[in-house]
Each structure stands twice: as C-alpha cells, then as structure tokens.
C-alpha cells in the first residue's frame, strides 16, 4: 500500500517535527489515519483480525516512536486495536463457524502472525466462558453507567477481550473491516464531541457565586467554564498565567469576551489565593492508569496548595487522554524540555553564555519543562466525556477502553 505508507510517513514526519499541536488534534488525526490504514488494508480470508491488528501495530509503532511525548497518539492506536479485537470477537461468537477466524489470545504468542491456525474449539469455548457481556465501544458509548456497573475481569489479563456479542450486531454478511471502520468513525466522532459532552456536566459542578481557579489554558476548561456561564451561573474565575508560555493570558481574554468575571494572578500567587477558591479546575495532557495526571507545568504546585486548603482539585479531560500506561516507567513519564528562550531573552544573557571568556563550560543552566506529574492522591475528581470519576476508578475506565494485550504496541518480531 504505497498510498497508505506515504500517509503514515507524512503523519509520522509531522509528529516528529512537532507540527501537530495538542492532544486533541493528534488524537483526531491519528484516528483518521488509522481509518484509512484499515480501509486500505487487504484482508485474506483467514485471520482477518490478526492481519488488521498487525497492520495497525506496525503503523502505531512508527507513530509512537515519532513523538513519544504525545501520549494521545498511543492511546488512539490502542483503542483502535481494542476495537478490532472486539469486533472480531463479536463476529466470531455470532458466526461460530470457527474457520477463517482467529482467537485474540494467539496474539500473545510471538511468531505466528502470518499463518495463524484456524480457530480451535478450545478457544471458542474459552471465549464463551468469559462471555459475560460485550464492552464493545458501541455499547460503551451508548450506555456508560452500565458498563461501569458490570464488573468483569478485563484488567487482569489477556482474556479480557473474550466477550460475547451484542445481539443486533454482526450479521454474517457484514464484514469485519466494515465494522471496524464504523467503530473508528464513532471514535472520531467521540473525540470531536468530547468538549461538549464534558461541558454538559458543568452545571452539576459549578455553583452560584463560586470562585474557580485554573492555570494556563486548556480548551476543555474554557468550554467547561463557558458552558456553566451560558446556563446562567454567575461565578468568578482566577486564572494563573501559566509561565513561561503565559497561555493564561489568552484564556483570560477568551473568558472575558464571554462575560465572565476574571482575575489574572501570577503562578506564584496561587498559594496566597487558594484559600478564597472553592474549586480548582484544570486540564491535563494525559491521565495515567493509576489516576496520576501529566499536566502543564506548575499544576503540581497548585494541587498541593489545593490539598493544603482542602479545595477540590478537578481535572477535565476527554477520554482520548486516558492512557493505559503507568507512570512508574521513566520511558513513559517523558517530559518535553523546550527552548530556554521562553524563559529569558537570549540576547540579554548572551554574555553569561560567552563560553570563550568563561572557561569553556556553561555556568548558566536553563530548564524549561513542559509537564508536571500530579500524583493521584492530590486529584479529587476526573471529569471525562463519560462522567465524573474518582482517581482510584481510572483503571477500570481504562480497562473498558483498552485491552491488556495492547499495552506494548510493537510489531512482533518474526524470530
């Protein structure tokens, strides 16, 4: 598929060159790319799902390597993999012929991805055994509370995807590919509408005459606050400016045009102001599986201040920011160190960095990290497009969206 390869190459290049800004855009574009990958992938009669999964994995590996800092890309890839498994399973269980289809558990064994064996009766049986309900994306989106309410073993191991079908789905005539594309379309739509879905819940959280504090600029936060304003809530917002990029200034401008009472404070004044604040609402870069948050720099300090004064610390984020990885691994907990030019004027300090007359080694170090890690115990509530959740519940939500086999997105080596 030279065409798809070119597209993948382009997108990887864009990610490498940091031309795709923000999790939302990255997530959406990744999903669109994967849709075209899936639609152009030729499928053999046997082992359709395995071929698809392999193709997506190959693309995913490339994209994740292109910009490992942008976790949303990996999230979407894992969700698409999950979708394929789900759709495959539901068609398997519907059609029960067994031939030409593969069990997902085979994915665990490295080395047999091309010629996978026909589905064994045992695998079908195993699938049927664990079939309590189908947490396919379709049902997830339609009925969140139910999916949350019904416990299942997905977090525990590789058999999580062994689920039954939903009755209306997967007629024999329907092709796996078609289903997958449908599901990806829903995913894209889901990403598109996440802001609205989140801001619908705004009135439940923001009350009359409250004081809200936020830091930096997040589109989700902005829409959340504006939605509350549109519902005739009157409240005040403190915006910490979010040095060194000062995105808070932009947010303040946007809020004022919407008619919100806004106060700008410096980041360092957060602790002084926090006692007057009723709630802290912030955006996130990614939500990790343990409920920890990777967020714009400065938020850990805000979270600590909020904890000190027992102010609720609320994180709003679309579900594409849910990351199934744990932040214990330094490979995952990446930070993007940007140019020191944000912090100080190179020209003014150029004499401090004159290596020639100062012994050759730099004495001035400037560090400009993009992200902070906020541990889960400092977060009071997550508001995603599926509703509000406790940090300790995040792993369950993640188990619904991702299958445990996909945590490491790597093409299996043929050796």
Residues that bind another protein (CB under 8 A): 2-3, 5-7, 9-11, 13-14, 16-19, 29, 32-33, 35-36, 39, 65-66, 68, 337-342, 345-347, 350-351, 353-362, 365-366, 368
Question: In the β-sheet with 371-374, what is the strand arrangement from edge to edge?
Answer: 286-287, 293-296, 371-374
Query: Is the Cβ of residue 9 or residue 158 nearer to another protein in the bound state?
Result: 9
Between 68 and 375, whose beta carbon lies closer to another protein?
68
* Nearer residue to another protein within complex by CB, 161 or 241: 241
Tell the smallest beta-carbon distance from residue 339 to another protein (Å): 4
**For the residues of 168-226, what is the DSSP string, one character each?**
TS--TTS-HHHHHHHHHHHHHHHHHHHHHHHHHTHHHH--TT-EEEEES--HHHHHHHH
**Residue position matching structure tokens 């509350």:** 228
Shortest separation between residue 142's beta carbon and another protein, angstroms:
25
* DSSP β-ladder status, 387-389 and 381-384: antiparallel
Least Cβ distance, residue 64 to another protein (angstroms): 11
CB of 344 to another protein, least distance (A): 10
For the CB of residue 34, give the shortest distance to another protein in the complex, in Å: 9
Instruction: Give the residue with the Cβ less far from another protein, 69 or 404.
Output: 69
CA distance 130 to 105: 13
Least distance from another protein to the Cβ atom of residue 33, Å: 6
Q: Is the Cβ of residue 29 or residue 91 nearer to another protein in the bound state?
A: 29
The smaller minimum CB distance to another protein, of residues 173 and 329, is found at 329
Nearest one of 227, 323, 218, 375 to 281, comparing CA atoms: 218
Name the nearest CA neighbour of 138 among 187, 101, 91, 178: 187
**Token representation of residue 396:** 């369950």
Minimum separation from the CB atom of position 82 to another protein (A): 20
In the complex, minimum distance from the CB of residue 35 to another protein, in angstroms, rounded to a whole number: 5
Rounded CA separation 24/41 (Å): 26
Separation of alpha carbons 409 and 83, rounded Å: 15
Ramachandran angles phi, psi of 404, nearest 5°: -65, -20
Smaller CB separation from another protein, 340 or 388: 340
Sheet-wide strand order for 387-389: 261-265, 236-240, 211-215, 279-282, 313-316, 381-384, 387-389
Nearer to another protein, 19 or 207 (CB): 19
Integer angstrom CA distances of residue 269 from 238, 274, 275, 283: 11, 9, 11, 19
């Amino acid at each position: 598929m030279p065409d798809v390869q070119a597209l993948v190459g382009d997108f990887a290049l864009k990610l490498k060159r940091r031309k795709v800004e923000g999790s939302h855009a990255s997530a959406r574009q990744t999903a669109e790319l994967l849709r075209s990958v899936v639609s152009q992938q030729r499928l053999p009669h046997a082992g359709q799902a395995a071929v698809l999964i392999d193709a997506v994995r190959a693309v995913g590996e490339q994209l994740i390597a292109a910009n490992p800092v942008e976790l949303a890309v990996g999230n979407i890839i894992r969700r698409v993999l999950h979708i394929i498994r789900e759709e495959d399973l539901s068609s398997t269980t519907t059609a029960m012929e067994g031939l030409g289809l593969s069990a997902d558990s085979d994915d665990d064994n490295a080395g047999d991805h091309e010629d996978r064996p026909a589905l064994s009766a045992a695998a079908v049986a195993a699938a049927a055994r664990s079939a309590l309900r189908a947490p396919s994306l379709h049902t997830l989106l339609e009925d969140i509370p139910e999916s949350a309410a019904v416990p299942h073993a997905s977090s525990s191991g590789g058999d999580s995807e062994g689920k039954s079908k939903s009755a209306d789905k997967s007629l024999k005539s329907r092709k796996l590919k078609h289903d997958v594309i449908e599901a990806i379309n829903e995913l894209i739509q889901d990403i598109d509408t996440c802001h609205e879905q989140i801001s619908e819940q705004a009135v439940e959280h923001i009350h009359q005459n409250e004081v809200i504090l936020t830091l930096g600029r997040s589109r989700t936060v902005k829409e959340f606050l504006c939605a509350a304003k549109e519902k005739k809530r009157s409240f005040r917002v403190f915006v910490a400016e979010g040095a060194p990029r000062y995105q808070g200034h932009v947010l303040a401008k946007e809020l004022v045009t919407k008619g919100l009472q806004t106060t700008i404070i410096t980041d360092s004044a957060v602790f002084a102001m926090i006692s007057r604040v009723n709630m802290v609402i912030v955006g996130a870069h990614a939500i990790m599986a343990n409920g920890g948050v990777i967020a714009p720099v400065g938020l850990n300090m805000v979270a600590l201040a909020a904890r000190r004064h027992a102010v609720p610390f609320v994180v709003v984020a679309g579900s594409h920011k849910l990351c199934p990885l744990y932040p214990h691994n330094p490979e995952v907990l990446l930070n993007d160190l940007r140019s020191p030019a944000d912090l100080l004027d190179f020209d003014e300090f150029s004499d401090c960095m004159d290596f020639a007359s100062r012994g050759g080694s730099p004495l001035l170090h400037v560090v400009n990290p993009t992200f902070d890690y906020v541990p889960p115990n400092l977060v009071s509530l997550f508001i995603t497009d599926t509703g509000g959740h406790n940090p300790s519940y995040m792993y369950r939500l993640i188990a619904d969206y991702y299958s445990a086999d996909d945590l490491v997105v790597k093409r299996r080596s043929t050796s």
